[in-house]
Structure formats: C-alpha cells, structure tokens
Amino acid sequence: MPIVFHKKTKEFHLYNSEISYIFCILKNGQPGQIYYGEKIKDRDSFQHLIEYSFRDMAPCTYEGDRTFSMEYLKQEYPSYGHGDMRYPAYEILQEDGSRITEFVFEDYVILKGKRKLTGLPAVYAESDEEAETLEIYLRDRVMNTRMILSYTIFEQLPVILRNTRFIQEGESCITLEHAMSLSLDLPDDRYEMITLTGAWARERYIKKAPLHEGVQAIYSMRGHSSHQFNPFFALKRPEATEDTGEVIGISLVYSGNFLGQTVVDTFGVARAMIGIHPEVFSWTLKKGEIFQTPEAVLVYSNKGLGKMSRTFHRLYHRRLVRGFWRDRVRPVVINNWEATYMDFTEEKILKIAETAKELGVEMMVLDDGWFGHRDDDTSSLGDWYPNPKKLPHGIRGLAEKIENMGMKFGLWIEPEMVNKDSRLYAEHPDWVIGVPYRDSCHGRNQYVLDFSKEEVVEYIGDQISGLLKEAPISYIKWDMNRSISEAFSQGRSREEQGKLFHKYILGVYSLYDRFTTDFPEVLFESCASGGARFDPGMLYYAPQCWTSDNTDAVERIRIQYGTSLVYPLSSMGCHVSEVPNQQTFRNTPLATRAETAYFGCFGYEMDLNTLTEEEKQEVREQIRYYKRIRKLIMDGAFYRLVSPFEAEEAAWMVVSEDKKHALAGYYRMRQPANAPLKRLVLKGLDPDIRYQIRETGLEAGGDELMHAGMAISDFACGIRKQKERQGDYQSRLFELTAVS
C-alpha cells in the first residue's frame, strides 16, 4: 500500500519504491508539509521534522503558544491572511468582504486508482493497481465550504498528482479569486529554477536562475499557455546535472492562463506553486456548486534532469495521451503550408501529393486557405465550407482522390477564430470576445470566438463534424493563432466576466472531447502559431503538437531539445522544409534537416516536386529509414547528451525498452578548425550488451560506449579534410543494434 495514515499523529505518508511525500494535520486542523523527496522508510511519527519555532513578532495562532505560527510552518495549501504572510494557495472573497478562511480537517479517504476530472484533461491510471489516491476533506465552518485536496501516487513512477475541489454547501455565495492546483513548501531554498521560455519561432529555450528571496514566476495571461512560458518549471539543486542530483519537476495539465512561481521567504523556505493565473480570475460559487482546479504533476528525480524528463515522457506518453493513436506509430505526412501558403488549387495539391506518395509519404495535410474565400489572412475564419474556386470537388472530392492514391488525408482548421470578413461574423458579431463599445486588437486580422458560450462551441462543432462525417479525413491540425485581448464576454454579467478565461479553455476541451469521442480514429495535432499551446492539457486530446513554425534544422535542435525537458518525442511534430529556410533564411543540408526531424513525428513541409532527382532519392531513403526506426522513436527512452544551449553542437539518443536498439544523433552548428579531439559518450545502454554501430561498423560493449564513448573527432572536429558532410550545420546518426 503506497498510502499510509498514522491515526495518532494524523500523518499521511504516500510512498513507492522511489519517493516519499509526507504531511500531517497540524493542531489547528490544517495540513502541514513534512517531507517530499527520495523514499524514506515509514515510521509512526515524523513530528520531529515539523519546525515549530519561537520567533519574536510572529503572528501566532494560539494565545500562550508562541511557537505555532503559520508564517513559519510548512503547509500543503496555505490560506490568505490568517497568520501566513506569504503568497497563499487560494483566496476566497465572502459576502461580507472578508477573505479570511479556516479550513479544518474532517476526514479522508484512500481510493484505488484515480478519479477522472470533470471537463478537464488529466493523467489517468489504467488499472486500480497502478495508482492510489488520497482525498483530504476539510471544511470552513463559517462559509460551510468544503475543500478536497487530492493526491495520487503511482506505484511505478516517482510521480504525485494534485488538485483541489471547492464545494459550496453553505447558503452564502463565495468567490474564489485565486485557486492554485499545487503548493509545496520546501525546507530550504538551495535550488535553481529551470524554465522553458521563448517567443514565436523560438519556443521552449531552457533557462536557469538561482532561487533568491522574493518571487520568481512564469505565467500566461494570454488565454493559451503561450510561446513565452511553458506551464512547467523545475527546481534543481545547483550541483545537479543532466544525470545526477535532485530535481523536482512541476507541470500543469492545463492550456489556459497559468501562474507558476517560487517564493522564497527570508527564512529560506521555498514555496513552489502552480495553477490558474489569479489575474482576472474570479469564480463565484452558489450553494451546491463546485470548482475543480486543473491537475498539477510533481515529478521527483534523484538522477538529474534526464530522469525527470524520462518520467514525464513515460507518464505523458502512456497515461495522458489516450485512444487509438497512443500506442501507434504516426504517419509520415506532407503539409502544403510552406509549399504554397494559401495560393493553391486542387491540381497543385494533387501534384504535391503524387510526388510525396511516390517517395513514401503516407498522409497529405491541407493547411490554411481552403475555406470561405480565404486567399490571405483577412478573411473567412469561421466559414468552414470549402472554397469552390480552389477545390471544385470540395474537401470530399480532394480527400477521396488522395485516398485513391493510397494516402490518408488531413485537414487544417482554426475553430476558435473568426475574421470580420466572414458570414459567421455578419450573423453573430456578439460571438466575439471583446468590449462592444471599445476598439479591440486584432491578431493576424482575426478575432477570438467566445468559446465560454456553449452555443458558439456547438455551432463550430457542427460545422466541422459535418466535414469529418462527409469526407475521409484521417487527421486534423487544430490551430490557434492569436492571444485573447479585451477579455470580455458579451451579454454576460459583471460577476461572470471573471470566469471567461477558464470557461473559454473548458469550451476548447469540450469541443476536443466531442471530436475525439465521435471520430476516435482521427489523429489530432494541436498547434498555436507553432508551439504556443504545447502543454499537457492539449496532449490529453491531441497526441501530437506542431512544435514550432520555425523549421530551420539548427533552430529546431534547440527547440526540440528544450521541449524534451517535459514532452515525449511522440508528441513533437517535426518536418523537413525547403532551403533557404523561410524563417531564418539559412541553408542547411537535407540530411541534417531530416536527422533533426526524425526525433519526433516526421514529415515534410515543402513541395517535393522542387527537388532534383538526386534529392528525391535522398528523401525516399529518409522516409524508408524513418519508417524503420519510428517505433524506437515513439517508444524509446530519450537521453540528452550534449546541450545546444551550452555549445555549438548538440547530441541526443533514444534507447529501446529492451536496450537492444538505439539511435544517437550528433549535430554540429558550426565547423571548428583544428578543434580538440572529441568523444561522444552514450547513455542508457545495457553495459553487458555488445552493440554494432551501423554507420561505422564498429562493435563495442554498452559499458565502453557509456564510459569511454565513441571517437567522433574525424567528423566533429574538422581535423581531416574529408569533404563529405564537413562544414557548418552537419549531423550524424549512429544506430546501435545488439549483436549478443
């Protein structure tokens, strides 16, 4: 049993073979954090780890006891204003204007497996045996509000899942103004905060900063999780590396506004939190109503960032992604976006598809520009019927032709958006988010539909379902190309406005739910101007996500490397595009572009007709190669070897579960002259297996490859003047197969 309750001391100990999470009910009835980290043996009491301290000037709970101060005690879900002066995990505005609460422990329950969250994406347990859930019931007697803190621990993974529910059982209305999914008080602040930050076309760069007194935060107030900050951060010991030392990873299964922060007080306690951003959030609950926070995921690693990532990968690949595509390899696609933009006809698309098919591509994806009268970004979003000028036989006609060629057909949509130049806007101008008597910002000439309204979601859902029913569509790329500004839901009361952002994303989830239920075999790829909504919430519905609009191989190495901190290779859409690259104007070899894109869901984003015969042959071989290794890429364990954020080179590798097959990629951004000798040290292999390296013919033991490494100086250092694949932006693959 991984969850133990010690009745006498009211202590809960959640543990498995790797981690322990211990908290207790303090004497004021509120839960106090005791320990989170590497597994320690259970005992009757860990009370000696609770640091009651006598401090002058502290706000104290009990008269006569100056050691019990919420300001110094480590807590599980701290409240505002009742002795703790630090940032709270929640705040409730009451009818009399007071914000003081006192949730006191009433009871608990331990459940096998894990409950589903209503309307929200969440990690799941496939059987009752693989996880156990603890729910702590607390009540504020004045408001008569119930709070349920939920903790799930996995039997086989160093993972804790948390969320909170508020249930109003009293007569008064209460307003949640702040409700984090997780709060964790750590006993010291000797950590570095790792975040994934960026912008359009340079998403998820790895950033690191030591914790310091005060607040360090990442956030989105854009209505989607954003290019700028991913809903994830890690706290890593300064001495921890990729492969050693303690790291705590915190991720939020949510796609809307979020706040992730660490607050260090002046006594060295680090309080980490993640949840919905409190800015413009307010949620009124009447009697009988419930609010459920999104789920937060805590991953503990005693072996550096690498193990943290592999834990996230396993969890998200196998217990967040669901359905038909979870365990299936993904098709090699060709997407026409960078080939044609919106300037295409059925004939042009069929020509692209024919050549692609001939070279081995399995699916043709038609991107933006097929609907209404859309020839540029000023019109037609919202009008999801085909443009007869471009597609005289409709989507169905085109899709059937593609199917008849022996390929699958995929379609781009952007269901959350509308252009003013559209039938939808003419009929329903009030369906747009914005203050009607003020100017609204557009983003790429488009406006955001108010997905907090059921009728809007239903209308868009009906249009797109119609297409999915009518035509053989096997894949949908669901895009979202702007942030939400002027957040205002027309026709709704003042009180309802604070719900807009959260309800919006619930609307998005409900539409995804409808589509994935009605069309379970359609493969969904989420997208938001590239990777602005690359988050665990989306992965619950769409098993893969377009990683970035930046398809330049050199930039992609950084973006994919950063993304891999949390997200599995099976979730990253990675395509080869033409050169010079359309985002960076850089020329990179076709081989490097493919060898970067192999480490994800592979495809092409170009017109293959523009290639020479020799290049076409290269593409044919690339596709053949990817098909052979894609199972390894999908299911293998991922190891980062050399960081592109620290050098002009990068390397990573994937190892199969049985460790008999592995693929390493080495990338060199710039060719050095007469550089030091270099060995590439591999990871994750079986020390007792002898491997053959396909590209070099070398045979070596796993132990040798993981300790002595592979000599790659010829290629990496430019010391020999071998002409082939020298120069900038080169890459090499090393495929390892067990020979004994």
Catalytic residues: 479, 549
Q: Given the complex with ligand DGJ, which of 382 and 530 has the nearer CB atom?
A: 530
Q: Shortest gap between Cβ of 469 and ligand DGJ (angstroms)?
A: 23
Secondary structure element (H or E) that encloses residue 196, with its range: strand 192-197
Distance of CA 598 to the CA centre of its chain: 20
Q: Shortest gap between Cβ of 383 and ligand DGJ (angstroms)?
A: 15
Q: How far apart are CA 172 and CA 513, in angstroms?
A: 34
Q: Shortest gap between Cβ of 526 and ligand DGJ (angstroms)?
A: 10
Q: Given the complex with ligand DGJ, which of 83 and 198 has the nearer CB atom?
A: 198
* Residue 82: Cβ within 10 Å count: 17
Q: Given the complex with ligand DGJ, which of 256 and 530 has the nearer CB atom?
A: 530
Q: Shortest gap between Cβ of 214 and ligand DGJ (angstroms)?
A: 36
Secondary structure element (H or E) that encloses residue 538, with its range: helix 536-539
- In 361-512, the DSSP E strands lie at 363-366, 408-413, 417-419, 446-448, 475-478
* Residue 29: Cβ within 10 Å count: 14
Site residues (CB under 6 A) for ligand DGJ, limited to 638-657: none
With contact defined as beta carbons under 8 Å apart, do 26 and 73 qualify?
yes
Site residues (CB under 6 A) for ligand DGJ, limited to 321-350: 337
Q: Shortest gap between Cβ of 345 and ligand DGJ (angstroms)?
A: 18
- The correct pick among 18, 295, 368, 535 for binding ligand DGJ (CB under 6 A) is 368
Q: Given the complex with ligand DGJ, which of 230 and 481 has the nearer CB atom?
A: 481
Q: Given the complex with ligand DGJ, which of 261 and 529 has the nearer CB atom?
A: 529
Task: Name the residue among 142, 192, 191, 135 with its Cα closest to residue 168.
Answer: 142
- The correct pick among 203, 549, 578, 607 for binding ligand DGJ (CB under 6 A) is 549
Q: Shortest gap between Cβ of 527 and ligand DGJ (angstroms)?
A: 5
Q: How far apart are CA 134 and CA 117, in angstroms?
A: 15
Q: Shortest gap between Cβ of 573 and ligand DGJ (angstroms)?
A: 9
Q: Shortest gap between Cβ of 412 and ligand DGJ (angstroms)?
A: 5
Identify the sign of the CA torsion 603, 608, 611, 617.
positive
Q: Given the complex with ligand DGJ, which of 479 and 552 has the nearer CB atom?
A: 479
Q: Given the complex with ligand DGJ, which of 371 and 546 has the nearer CB atom?
A: 546
In degrees to the nearest 10, what's the CA dihedral of 552, 555, 558, 561? -10
Distance from the first to the final alpha carbon of the chain: 39
Q: Given the complex with ligand DGJ, which of 292 and 481 has the nearer CB atom?
A: 481
Tell me the backbone φ, ψ of residue 18, rounded to 5 degrees: -115, -35
Q: How far apart are CA 705 and CA 682, in angstroms?
A: 6
Q: Given the complex with ligand DGJ, which of 84 and 549 has the nearer CB atom?
A: 549
Q: Given the complex with ligand DGJ, which of 367 and 552 has the nearer CB atom?
A: 367
Task: Give the type of residue at 317.
Answer: H
Largest CA distance in the chain: 87
Structure tokens at 112: 């096998």
Task: Give the type of residue at 410.
Answer: G
Interface pattern 448-487 for ligand DGJ (x via CB under 6 A)? -------------------------------x-x------
Residues 6+ apart with CB under 8 A from 77: 31, 89, 90, 103, 147, 149, 164, 180, 183
Q: How far apart are CA 504 and CA 257, in angstroms?
A: 10
Site residues (CB under 6 A) for ligand DGJ, limited to 479-538: 479, 481, 527, 529-530
Q: Shortest gap between Cβ of 481 and ligand DGJ (angstroms)?
A: 5
- The correct pick among 367, 416, 535, 578 for binding ligand DGJ (CB under 6 A) is 367
Q: How far apart are CA 199 and CA 230, in angstroms?
A: 11
Q: For 126, which DSSP code?
A: S
Bridge partner list, 256: none
Q: How far apart are CA 16 and CA 130, in angstroms?
A: 11
Count Cβ atoms within 10 A of the Cβ of residue 562 and give its class: 0-12 exposed, 13-18 middle, 19 or more buried. Answer: buried
CA angle 215, 216, 219 (to 5 degrees): 115
- In 527-648, the DSSP E strands lie at 544-546, 572-577, 601-605, 637-642
Tell me the backbone φ, ψ of residue 662, rounded to 5 degrees: -150, 155
Helix, strand or coil, per DSSP, at residue 518: helix
Binding residues for ligand DGJ, total number by CB under 6 A: 11
SS (H, E, C) 260-320: EEEEECCCCCEEEEEEECCCCCCEEECCCCEEECCEEEEEEECEHHHHHHHHHHHHHHHHC
Identify the sign of the CA torsion 645, 651, 656, 658.
negative
Bridge partner list, 17: none
Q: Given the complex with ligand DGJ, which of 367 and 635 has the nearer CB atom?
A: 367
- The correct pick among 412, 524, 540, 638 for binding ligand DGJ (CB under 6 A) is 412
Residue with nearest beta carbon to ligand DGJ: 368
Q: Given the complex with ligand DGJ, which of 361 and 417 has the nearer CB atom?
A: 417
What residues line the site for ligand DGJ (CB under 6 A)?
337, 367-368, 412, 479, 481, 527, 529-530, 546, 549
